[in-house]
Amino acid sequence: MKILIIGLGYAGNRYRRAFEHIAASTGLPLSLAYVGRRQKPIELSYFDSVGRALEMFTPNIVVVSVNDHSHAPVLRQLAGYRGFVICEKPLVTPGDDLNELFGALEHVGGFALDLVERYSDASRQLREWVERHDWHLVRASFHWGKDRINDYRPTCGVTSEVIHALDLLSWICPRSGQLRLHGVLGVRSDFSISGAEVLDTVQLTASLGEAQVTGYSSFVNIVRQRTVDFSFVDCDARLIHARLVFDTPRWDHDQLRIWTRDANGAEGVLHEFVTAPNEPGLDTLHKLSRLCLQVVRAVALKEPPRQAFADLNTAVALQHLLNELNTHAQTPPPARYVHGEKRVLLAEDNNLERLG
C-alpha cells in the first residue's frame, strides 16, 4: 500500500505520524512518500513534483495537505488519478473554480475531506441517539474558535475553522436537510501572514430544515473553544437538550451531555460521556488516525467504512456554503494586530496543542 503526502508541513506531518502508527499497530505494509518544495531530513521517498510522484511512485492513496491556497492547483494536477484522495479542509478557497476541480477529480476511486470531528466518539453517540429516538431538531448554536494570530501557516481565513461546526450540524441531523445561510456579520484583519484583510471571525444565522441556527466562529479566539448545542423535540413533544464540547481540556478530549428539564426546571440527565484518549504516539491524532485507518482498510481490504466518508459531493456542497459566507459577510474596517515594524511569528516547532 503506497501513500503519497503532498505537502509535508504541520498538517502533512500529522498524516505521516498517523499512517506510521497504523502500520506499526496493524502490521499493514504501508510505504510513504511525499512531495514538497524542498527535501527534508527524513527517511521518506521525496519527489519535487506531483506529476513525477504519481508516475514513479504510483500511490494507492494521495493526501493533499498543502496550505489552503495551494489546494486547487494540486487537485488540478490529480486529473485522471484513480486512487483514493484525502484532502485537508476546506476543499479550496472562495476564489477557486469548483466546477473545474470537480471535473478534475471525477475519476478518483474514493474521496474524503478531513472533517475529523465526525470521528469523535461524542459526535457519533449523539448522532446515534438522534436517529434511534427519532428526535427532530428545533434549535442549534455553536461557538467554534481558536487562536491563529501570527501563525506561520497561510490560511484563507475563518472559513477553514467554521467548516467543522457547519458540517457537524448536518451530519448529526441528516434528516433535517441542507443548511441555508440567512445572515452573516464578520471581521477582517491582518491576523494572518496571508493578508491585511483576511476574514477572521463570523457570526451567522441559518436554518436546517425548520430548525433555526446561530453560530460564532473565529481564528482570533484567544483560547480554543469548541461547543455545539442542540435542542430537539421527541415523539412525545418533550424538549431534549444536548451539548458537545470538543478538544477540552486537551486535543481529542471530547464531551457529550444529553438532558431534559421538568416543569420545575430540574434537570434529568439522559446520557453523559467523556473521552480522554491517551494512546502513546497519537497525541492530537486520535480522531485523524481513525479517518486514516478507515481509508487504509477501504483501499487495502475493500472494507466499507464504519461511517461514510465526507465525499466529494459533500466537500463541494460545504465549499458553496463557505463561499457564500465569505462573499456576504458584512464587515467593518479591518482590525490591526501588527503594530510593530515586524510581525513576530509562532515557531514552526511550537507545541502540538498550540498549533493544532
Q: State the pLDDT at residue 89.
A: 97
Q: Are residues 47 and 188 in the same domain?
A: no
Q: Verify that 187 and 327 share a domain, yes or no.
A: yes
Give the pLDDT of residue 343.
82
DSSP string for 230-287 = EEEE-TTS-EEEEEEE-S-SSTT-EEEEEEEE-TT--EEEEEEEEE----TT-TTTHH
Residue 76 domain flag: yes
Question: Percent of the chain, pLDDT > 90?
Answer: 90
Q: 228 and 218: one domain?
A: yes
151 versus 16: the higher-pLDDT residue is 16
Domain contains 286: no
**Which residue did the predictor score with more confidence, 68 or 342?**
68
Q: How many distinct structural domains can be found in the chain?
A: 2
Q: Is the pTM of this model over 0.75?
A: yes
Judgement on whether residues 36 and 125 belong to the same structural domain of the protein? no
Q: Please check whether residues 122 and 214 belong to one and the same domain.
A: yes
Q: How far apart are CA 345 and CA 307, in angstroms?
A: 38
Domain end residue (candidates: 54, 87, 115) = 115
Q: What per-residue confidence (pLDDT) applies to 340?
A: 83
Q: By residue range, what is the domain housing residue 70?
A: 2-115
Does position 60 have pLDDT exceeding 90, yes or no?
yes
Domain boundary among 115, 137, 171: 115
Whether residue 341 has pLDDT greater than 90? no
Q: pLDDT tens digit string along 80-132? A: 999 999 999 999 999 899 999 999 999 999 999 999 999 999 999 999 999 99
110 plus 123 within the same structural domain? no
Peptide bond into 90 cis (omega under 30): yes
Tell me the pLDDT band of 33, cut-offs 50, 70 and 90: very high
Instruction: Name which of 355, 347, 119, 120 is nearest 224 in CA terms.
Output: 355
**Residue 125: inside a domain, yes or no?**
yes
CA–CA gap between residue 210 and residue 138 (Å, rounded): 7
Whether 184 and 200 share a structural domain = yes
Looking at the fold, whether 105 and 214 belong to one and the same domain comes out as no
Among residues 99, 115, 131, the one where a domain terminates is: 115
The whole-number pLDDT of residue 263 equals 83
Is the alpha carbon torsion for 71, 72, 74, 79 positive or negative? Answer: positive
Q: What is the DSSP code string of 119-187?
A: G-HHHHHHHHHHHHHT-EEEEEEEEEEEE-TT-SS----THHHHHHHHHHHHHHSGGG--EEEEEEEEE
Task: Provide the grid cell at 302.
Answer: 475493500
Percent of the chain's residues with pLDDT above 70: 97
